[in-house]
Amino acid sequence: MAEAPQLPHISIDVRKLSKRYVLGASRKGIGRLFRTATGDEHWALNNVSFEIRSGERVGIIGKNGAGKSTLLKILSRVLVPTSGEAIITGRATALLEVGTGFNPQLSGLENIYLTAAIYGLSKAEIEDRVQSIIDFSEVNRFINAPVKQYSSGMRARLGFSICAHLDPEILMLDEVLSVGDAAFQQKCLTRMDDMTSHGRTLLFVSHSMSAVARFCDRCIWIEGGEIVDDGPAAIVCDAYNRSMLSLASTYTNKAQDSAETKSATDTSIETSPAGEGPKEAKEDEEGKDDDKVACELVAVRVLDHQGEVTSTIKLDQDAAIEIEYEVFEIDKRIEPALHFRNESGDMLFVLAFTDDKFPQAINQPGRYLSRVAIPPNLLNTGIHVLSATLVTADPLERHISVDNALAFTVYETHSDDAQMSARGRYARDFPGVIRPRLEWHTKQT
């Protein structure tokens, strides 16, 4: 056989899966059981196909109602597809809700046995795991108390703990990390990490892009029941974030492009119709010649370590920002400046023009291309929004200002050598608006 021996087998093979819901079904009574419902149709999933190989960690993202949960429910056999098929190879466990099947009257211990049995474990298998389930859930003291006396956090911990110890070959999780406190969420993520690094297949539905980007190698973006994008997690998450915030990955002044040959004063300002898109504002000071435009922004781009235009940069690699602009007036001393903000809009820092070759800034008309290097291990992971301005520094005169000109995503991958990044040996969520890796010097004293 000419089969590639290295390729792991397919764990989840989804072929043209569709799911139709009928809204406001017209059938009444017994007809609802025996006849196909008619009414307004809604395709929660429409002809979805993909393959997931053993050991892959796949995130599923999309807005509410995009079909993510329907997909997971079909794969976990809770729902039956309207058409299409899926083949699951290996024991699969789906956790659609933490604490599923808990009986409040029964004790924590009895609930462990009952829940594990609902997930199809045998008695011996449950007995093997029961101690580690109790330990992980941190409810040791209350394990013989009825679950109705538990706090919601304790319930969530016990629920996740059971599922985390079911040891399936394929684990499917739906938003389970939205419960519990931050410390426990972290513990869950670490446990998932352990499980999946042992070759288990993970299917993970989440709204948390950072969790998906960090724990998944691959990401499937579903919208309106169809696959929009399927690829490396960092790239798909970035595209998704960008589309949610309607942010572009590069900025190009369209008017400038089309008006290259026209008079410079002819340039009109393009503003994006989307509220959060790039906003351009020209601020001319009083007493200046209003008709004359001193300069024009042409484009802003993000470059990766190889100099290619990109929208995602890796945490521990070189990157650069490139700004292209046109100067029309002599002696205006025009200079570009960049403002870095994070997703929440916090200003991270401002980059002023400090190019040694132009101590007096730009005082000759012409088209210029300035590039500034972003060193590795400076920015933290996540979305970064860039605003670009063209100013005269002294006296301050702001000629062009494009807010939210572009956005890029900084990501790290799970397989990265942690020592190379500022996180060191920390496996947890690494907070901070920036993430510099600074040099330590230690000696024994």
Partner 1 sequence: MNEPLEQFHITSIKHRKLSVRELWSYRELLRRMSHRQYRLRAGKSFLNLIWPFIRPAVMTLALIYLRQMSGANFGVDLPYPLYVFSGLCFWFFFAELTINLAGSLSSNASLLQKVYFPPIVPPLAIMISRLPELLLILLAVGGLQIYFGVGLSEFWWALIPALLTLFALAAGIGLLFAGLSLVYSDVTRILEVILYLGLFLSPVFFAIEIYPETVRGFFAMNPMGGVLSAIRGSLFTGIGIDWSSWGYALISAAALLLAGISVFVRAEHLVRENG
Angle, vertex CA 344, rays to CA 343 and CA 350, nearest 5: 75
Q: Which stretch binds partner 1 (CB under 8 A): 23-31, 217-225, 323-331, 410-418?
A: 23-31
Determine contact, residues 363/332, Cβ cutoff 8 Å.
Answer: yes
* Min CB(100)–partner 1 separation in Å: 4
Interface residue with partner 1 among 50, 63, 84, 223 (CB under 8 A) is 84
* Min CB(110)–partner 1 separation in Å: 8
Return d(Cα 231, Cα 411) in angstroms, integer. Answer: 15
Helix 152-164 with 123-137: angle, nearest 10 deg? 140
Single-letter amino acid code for the residue at 427: A
Q: Which of 140, 400, 368, 410 is nearest to 281 (CA)?
A: 400
User: Which residue lies nearer to partner 1 by CB, 31 or 307?
Assistant: 31
Q: 194: buried, middle or exposed (CB in 10 Å: 19+, 13-18, 0-12)?
A: exposed
Interface residue with partner 1 among 81, 108, 159, 278 (CB under 8 A) is 81
Q: Which stretch binds partner 1 (CB under 8 A): 101-109, 237-245, 350-358, 401-409?
A: 101-109
Tell me the CA end-to-end span of the chain in Å, nearest whole number. 65
Interface residue with partner 1 among 50, 63, 117, 153 (CB under 8 A) is 117
Say which DSSP state 274 is in: S
Q: Which stretch binds partner 1 (CB under 8 A): 22-30, 134-142, 256-264, 370-378?
A: 22-30
Does 104 help bind partner 1 (rule: CB under 8 A)? no
Determine contact, residues 94/72, Cβ cutoff 8 Å.
Answer: yes
Interface residue with partner 1 among 26, 39, 77, 419 (CB under 8 A) is 77
Q: C-alpha 318: how far from its chain's center? A: 21
Does 169 help bind partner 1 (rule: CB under 8 A)? yes
Q: Which stretch binds partner 1 (CB under 8 A): 122-130, 306-314, 355-363, 410-418?
A: 122-130
Interface residue with partner 1 among 48, 58, 76, 327 (CB under 8 A) is 76
What does the binding site for partner 1 look like in residue numbers (CB under 8 A)? 9, 21, 28-30, 32-34, 73-92, 94, 96-97, 100-101, 103, 106, 113-114, 117-123, 126, 169
